[in-house]
Amino acid sequence: MSVPGTSYGRTDTSFFVPAEETLHQRTFMQWPVSRKVYRDSIFLDMVQQTIADIANAISDFERVTVLAALEHHATARSKLSDQVELWDVPTEDLWCRDSGPIFVINGTKELAVSQIQFNGWGHKQVHRNDARVAAQVAERLSLPLLPSGLKGEAGGVEQDGHGLLMAHESSWVNDNRNPGLSRGEIEARLLATYGAHHMIWSEGVYGEDITDYHIDSLARFTGPGRVLINLPDDPDMSDPFHVAALATYDRLVAEGLQVEVIPEPYSVRIEDPDFVTSYANYYVCNGAAVMAQFGDAETDAIAGEALARHYPGREIVPLNVDVLGELGGGIHCATQQMPFV
Which residues does the annotation mark as catalytic?
Answer: 333
Sheet of 157-159, strands arranged across: 157-159, 164-168, 198-202
Between CA 130 and CA 142 the distance in angstroms is 19
Please state, in angstroms and rounded to a whole number, the distance separating the CA atoms of residues 303 and 133. Answer: 32
Contact criterion met (CB below 8 Å) for 291 and 317: yes
Task: State the Cα angle at 333 between 328 and 338, rounded to 5°.
Answer: 175
How would you list the strands of the sheet with 315-319, edge to edge? 283-285, 288-292, 315-319
Q: Distance between CA atoms of 270 and 22, rounded to whole angstroms?
A: 34
Rounded distance between C-alpha atoms, residue 49 and residue 76, angstroms: 9
d(CA 271, CA 31): 26
CB 64 within 8 A of CB 24: no
Burial of 234 (0-12, 13-18, 19+ CB in 10 A): exposed
Say how far apart CA 259 and CA 24 lie, in whole Å. Answer: 26
Q: What distance in Å separates the CA atoms of residue 124 and residue 19, rounded to the nearest whole number?
A: 30
Is 85 within 8 Å of 104 (Cβ atoms)? no
User: Which DSSP string do the residues of 263-317 spell out, in sequence order?
Assistant: EPPSS-S---TT----SS--EEETTEEEEE--S-HHHHHHHHHHHHHHSTTSEEE
**Which residues pair with residue 117 across a beta bridge?**
151
- Give the Cα separation of 249 and 13 in Å (integer): 35
